[in-house]
Amino acid sequence: MHRSLRFVIPSFSMLARVIVLGLVLGASAATSFAAGLRARVSIHVEALDPGAQKLVELYGTQNGPIHGRVFFKAGASRTEMPANAGPGFAGQVIVATAAGQVHQISPAAEAYLTWPRRTPEKAPRIEAQRSGKTQTIAGYACEQVIFQFGVETWEFWVTKDLPGLTALDVSDNTLDARRRAMYRQLGGVPIRSINTTATYRLTSDLTEIEAQALEDALFTVPAGYVQVKDAGDLMKRTSRAAPR
């Protein structure tokens, strides 16, 4: 599985952000979001090379984006994938704990897979390119911020319409050093994130971002669930458990 494709928006891994705080919530942004936040996320994986077509099918984005929900709290995240996602994720939940562990959970099969931990790495020296371009996305005024790594590009459309929130508030503790370094330079919340490589393009949008007090249980594996060793086993169990 391509760990870099976990939306978080990205991994993610977030994907993942329409309420303007001060006006709607009636409390300070920092106080309101401290207990947690939720958002709608749309994910679209496109193949730029025939070899990436299987990845598109795994996510189920052959005919356009899929739409799910994301939750964030104190360095943890939860992504709920829709039932019409591809066979790799349909109806499943991706939980990233505050301790940096990622679990892929199948509620239908009452089973889960724990992803291998990333090898720690040093943060690279990178510099944000601010193009000066702006557009409104899902009601948010956004500016374009770009990072280039050889043939790989990260393009963010960042808003400052959510005072008190930063990019790190809509991510989790599994961010690798490179993405954490990027997020620290964004200067706002990434409403749209586009990761383009030589073989695929992953676009994720966050909308309907709002504060919500979240229980810690949302970010854990339910008691009694069976741990499996690989994604293939989880897919088979989920398929067998699906209603006929």
Mean pLDDT within 58-84:
91
Question: 1: closest CA among 139, 118, 146, 163?
Answer: 118
189: Cα separation from own chain's centroid: 13
For domain 3-241, say whether CATH 2.50.20.10 is its number.
yes
Position 244 scores a pLDDT of: 58
Domain ranges of the chain: 3-241
Going by the DSSP 8-state scheme, the letter that residue 116 receives in this structure is P
Amino acid at 47: A
**Which residues fall within 8 angstroms of residue 69, CB to CB, at 6 or more apart?**
16, 38, 39, 40, 41, 79, 80
Based on the number of CB atoms within 10 Å of its own CB, is 122 exposed (0-12), middle (13-18) or buried (19 or more)?
exposed
Prediction pTM value? 0.80
How much is the average pLDDT of 150-171? Answer: 89
Q: What is the dihedral of CA 174, 224, 87, 169, to 10 degrees?
A: -30
| CA-based nearest residue to 95, from 81, 116, 78, 80 | 78
Q: How confident is the model at residue 60 (pLDDT cuts 50, 70, 90)?
A: very high
pLDDT band at 105 (very low <50, low <70, confident <90, very high): very high
Min mean pLDDT across 3-12, 90-99, 121-130, 161-170 is at: 3-12
pLDDT in tens, 164-215: 788 888 888 787 888 888 999 999 999 999 999 999 999 999 988 888 889 9
pLDDT number for residue 32: 58
Beta pairing partners, 190 = 158
pLDDT on residue 152: 92
Confidence of residue 223 (pLDDT cuts 50, 70, 90): very high
pLDDT exceeds 80 at position 226: yes
- DSSP line for 76-106: EEEEE--TTS-TTTTT-EEEE-TTS-EEEEE
The percentage of the chain sitting over the pLDDT mark of 90, rounded to a whole number, equals: 50
pLDDT at 53: 93
> What kind and span of H or E run contains 208?
strand 200-211
